[in-house]
C-alpha cells in the first residue's frame, strides 16, 4: 500500500503525488504541509528505519517537478547545505566511540542524517528543517545531536542556523512533540569541535 496525494490545479489537470520516499511502503510517518501562500508544499517522511532515513521534498505548484507524479526523486531536496553544516558542526570522525567506516561515509552522504520538515517561514520564502544525527550508538558521541535550519526555497541556501536550544525556543510551537535538547556531543580527547 502506498500513500499519495491527488493534486488538482487549474489548467494542469489532476496529478498523483507520492510520498517523501518513492521506494517506501511504510507511510505512517509522512507529513504534508502547505506554504502560507498555497503555492508550494513539502512532504516530510521516513525512508529507512524507525530512527534513520527521514527526508523532506518540496513541490512548487508552478514547477515542472510537480508533473512527475509518483517519481518523488524529482521533488526538491533543499538539505544539501544543511547536511554539510551538520558535518562541520559535529565532525563524525572526531566523535567519541565513532565507527571509522560510518564516520567517513557521514562526511559525504546526507543519508546518514535525518531531515524533518517542521514549518514554512511566514512569507513562504523558505522551510524550517530539523537536522538530526540519528540516536543510535553507531554514530558514537554525536548521536542525537540536532540543529535547526531555515532554508530558502528553491535554492536550499541557509537563511538561518539555530542550535538545539535556539531551535526549541523559536520553533517548538510548530512541532507536534515536545522537543528535547540533546546532551552535548562527546569527542575523542584532543579532537574537540
Beta bridge partners of 60: 40
pLDDT, residue 62, reads 77
Interval 5-25 mean pLDDT: 63
pLDDT band at residue 65 using 50, 70 and 90 as cut-offs? low
Answer yes or no: is pLDDT of 73 > 50. no
Q: Which residues contact 153 (CB under 8 A, 6 or more apart)?
A: 35, 40, 58, 60, 76, 78, 124, 125, 126, 127
Q: Render pLDDT for 90-101 as a digit per residue (tens, 0 to 9).
A: 999 999 999 999
* Most confidently predicted of 22-26, 103-107, 139-143: 139-143
Give 113-146 pLDDT, tens digit per residue: 999 999 999 999 999 999 999 988 989 999 999 9
What pLDDT is attached to residue 45? 84
pLDDT surpassing 70 at residue 50: no
Amino acid at each position: 500500500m502506498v500513500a499519495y496525494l491527488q493534486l488538482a490545479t487549474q489548467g494542469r489537470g489532476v496529478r498523483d503525488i507520492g510520498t517523501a520516499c518513492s521506494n517506501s511502503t511504510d507511510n505512517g510517518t509522512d507529513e504534508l504541509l502547505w506554504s502560507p501562500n498555497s503555492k508550494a508544499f513539502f512532504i516530510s517522511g521516513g525512508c529507512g528505519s524507525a530512527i534513520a532515513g527521514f527526508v523532506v521534498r518540496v513541490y512548487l505548484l508552478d514547477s515542472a517537478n510537480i508533473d512527475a507524479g509518483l517519481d518523488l526523486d524529482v521533488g526538491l531536496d533543499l538539505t544539501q547545505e544543511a547536511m554539510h553544516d551538520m558535518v562541520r558542526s559535529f565532525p563524525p570522525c572526531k566523535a567519541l566511540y565513532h565507527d571509522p567506516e560510518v564516520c567517513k561515509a557521514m562526511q559525504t552522504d546526507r543519508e546518514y542524517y535525518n531531515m524533518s520538515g517542521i514549518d514554512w517561514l511566514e512569507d513562504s520564502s523558505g522551510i524550517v528543517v530539523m537536522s538530526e544525527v540519528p540516536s543510535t550508538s553507531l554514530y558514537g558521541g554525536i548521536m542525537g545531536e540536532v540543529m535547526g535550519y531555515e532554508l530558502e526555497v528553491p535554492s536550499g541556501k541557509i537563511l538561518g542556523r539555530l542550535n538545539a536550544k535556539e531551535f526549541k525556543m523559536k520553533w517548538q510551537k510548530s512541532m507536534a512533540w515536545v522537543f528535547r535538547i540533546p546532551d552535548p556531543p562527546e569527542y575523542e580527547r584532543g579532537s574537540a569541535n
